[in-house]
Structure 1
Amino acid sequence: MSASSAKLANRILGGLVVGLIAGLITIAVGRAFPEFLSGAQWVSKEIFDPAGQIFLRLLFFVIIPLVFASLAVGVVQLGRLDKLGPLAGKTFGLFLLNMVIGVALALVMMDVVKPGHALSVEKREELRSSYTSDISQHIETREKQQAVTLSTIVEMFMPKNLLGAVTGQTRGSIGEVLPLILFALLVGAVGVGLADAKRAQLISSLELVNELMTGIVHYALRLAPYAVPLMIYSVVVRTGIEILLALGLFVTGVLGVLALHLFGTMSLWLKFMTKRSPLAFFKIVKPVLITAFSTSSSAATMAASIAVCKEELKVSPSVSGFVIPLGATMNMSGTALYEGCVVLFVAQVFGPDLAIGQQMVLLLLSVLSAVAVAGIPGGSLPLIAGLCMTFGIPPEGIAIILGVDRLLDMARTTVNVGADLVTAVIVNDSMPPESEGLEPVHERAQT
Structure 2
Amino acid sequence: MAAPASDQLANRILRGLAVGVVLGVVTLLAGPKLPLPAGLQELLVHVGVKSSANLLEAMRGISTVLLDPFGRVFLRLLFFVIVPLVFASLATGVVQLGRPDKLGPLAGRTFFLFFLNMAIGVALGLIMMNTLQPGGHIDAETKARLMAEFGGAAQKHVATQAGQSGLSLTVIVEMFMPANLLAAVVGSSTARIGDVLPLILFAILVGVIGMSFPDAKRRRLLDALELVTELMTGIVHLALRLAPYAVPCLIYSVLVKSGLDIIWALIWFLLGCAAVMAIHLFGTMSLWLKLWTQWSPRAYFAAIKDVIVTAFSTSSSNATLPTALQNATEKLKLSPSTAGFVLPLGTTMNMSGTALYEGCVVLFVAQVFGIDLTLGQQVTLLLLSVLSAVAVAGIPGGSLPLIAGLLITFGIPPEGIGIILGTDRILDMCRTATNVGCDVTTAVVVDEMTKRAEARKAGK
TM range (shorter): over 0.9
- CA apart distance, 1:81: 3.0
| Distance in 2 of aligned mates of 1:135 and 1:264 | 36
8 Å CA contact 2:342–2:443 kept in 1: the answer is yes
Q: 1:89-104 to 2 correspondence within 5 Å?
A: 89-104=108-123
1:290 and 2:309 aligned: yes
- CA apart distance, 1:147: 2.3
| Distance in 2 of aligned mates of 1:53 and 1:308 | 43
User: Which secondary structure does the structure 2 equivalent of 1:85 belong to?
Assistant: helix
Runs of 5+ unmatched residues, structure 1: 437-447
- CA apart distance, 1:46: 1.5
Structure-1-length-normalised TM-score: 0.95
1:303 and 2:304 aligned: no
8 Å CA contact 2:154–2:371 kept in 1: the answer is no
| Distance in 2 of aligned mates of 1:372 and 1:143 | 32
Structure 2 partner of 1:364: 383
Structure 2 partner of 1:194: 213
Supply the AA of the counterpart residue of 1:308: N
| Distance in 1 of aligned mates of 2:83 and 2:97 | 22
User: Which secondary structure does the structure 1 equivalent of 2:304 belong to?
Assistant: helix
Runs of 5+ unmatched residues, structure 2: 35-52, 456-460
Supply the AA of the counterpart residue of 2:332: L
- CA apart distance, 1:433: 7.6
| Distance in 1 of aligned mates of 2:163 and 2:182 | 21
Deviations along 1:139-172, one digit per CA (max 9) or x if unpaired, are 3455566620011001110111111111111111
| Distance in 1 of aligned mates of 2:55 and 2:103 | 67
Structure-2-length-normalised TM-score: 0.92
Structure 1 partner of 2:399: 380
Does the C-alpha gap of structure 1 residues 317 and 433 become closer, same or farther in structure 2, counting only changes over 3 Å? farther
Structure 2 partner of 1:3: 4
User: Which secondary structure does the structure 2 equivalent of 1:171 belong to?
Assistant: coil
- CA apart distance, 1:131: 3.1
- CA apart distance, 1:353: 1.6
| Distance in 1 of aligned mates of 2:85 and 2:160 | 23
| Distance in 2 of aligned mates of 1:144 and 1:419 | 41
User: Which secondary structure does the structure 2 equivalent of 1:328 belong to?
Assistant: helix
| Distance in 1 of aligned mates of 2:209 and 2:454 | 28
Does the C-alpha gap of structure 1 residues 329 and 141 become closer, same or farther in structure 2, counting only changes over 3 Å? farther
Structure 2 partner of 1:441: none
Does the C-alpha gap of structure 1 residues 144 and 154 become closer, same or farther in structure 2, counting only changes over 3 Å? farther
Q: 1:5-404 to 2 correspondence within 5 Å?
A: 5-33=6-34, 35-132=54-151, 135-140=154-159, 142-143=161-162, 147-404=166-423
User: Which secondary structure does the structure 2 equivalent of 1:432 belong to?
Assistant: helix
Supply the AA of the counterpart residue of 1:7: Q
Supply the AA of the counterpart residue of 1:51: F
Structure 1 partner of 2:45: none
Supply the AA of the counterpart residue of 2:451: P
Supply the AA of the counterpart residue of 1:310: T
| Distance in 2 of aligned mates of 1:207 and 1:355 | 36
8 Å CA contact 2:286–2:297 kept in 1: the answer is yes
- CA apart distance, 1:84: 2.6
Q: Please say which structure displays the higher CA radius of gyration.
A: 2
| Distance in 2 of aligned mates of 1:435 and 1:71 | 33
8 Å CA contact 1:66–1:209 kept in 2: the answer is yes
8 Å CA contact 2:289–2:296 kept in 1: the answer is yes
- CA apart distance, 1:300: 1.1
